[in-house]
Structure 1
Amino acid sequence: MTYMAIKHLHMTAAGLSILFFIIRAFWSVSGSALLQNRFVRIAPHVIDTVLLVCGLALAGMLGAAAGQPWLITKIVLLVAYIVVGSYAIKRGKTAQSRAWAAVLAVAIFVYIVGVALRHSPGSWFF
């Protein structure tokens, strides 16, 4: 697979990932039973696996061993997004705490997109 094909698959998976996250976070905050649907529980893991595998492939193609600061920033922020996102979907004790976690997770995601597009740890700011 070529670099551009993997990059487009990665970007598509990222778009689907945040879309599914926002929907699931809304359902979590509103207490919807739809959150327990089998497809809803499985699809995000499949999408996120594709996202991660493509990201690792792209990092390998870019020579991630060179320690590119923007790539390291993306990885650190990805871990933060996963932790905060888990509070938004299931670990948050109250609807309000899940809502705040969802807002923070989306903000982290937007920052990650800026890092990816600008190849700068400063994201949209530098």
Structure 2
Amino acid sequence: MPLIDVVFLLLTFFVFAMVLMVQVNAEGIHLPLASGGESVSERGSATIALNADGDFLLDGTPRPLAEIQAELESIGDRQLYVAPDVRAPVGRLFELVGVLKKAGIEDVKFIRQTENIPE
């Protein structure tokens, strides 16, 4: 009987771990590598991705930077994540940071990858 308890405990752990995982809509984005960091919660979040061509995607939908700037007001108190492609032009990332600063958004988290990408 104790083995069944352990199995159910492990099953419960993995179910909760799957629920708490963050799903980022950043298809086609090669995230930069970094060490450290912390896990995040998906609830109440928005993601701005910057692809290799320098185009922005808000929650997976391509948008011009001016439109993202207008949408920032509707984000409200949701957590904002930025997922820049490692091949993206740095100047475009600085443009985004300037827009975020102008909008008064200070709590921004950058998404990165912790393991190597097979090429």
Q: State the TM-score, normalizing by the size of structure 1.
A: 0.28
**Which structure shows the bigger proportion of residues in helix conformation?**
1
**Which structure shows the bigger proportion of residues in strand conformation?**
2
Q: State the TM-score, normalizing by the size of structure 2.
A: 0.29
Which structure has the larger Rg over C-alpha atoms?
2
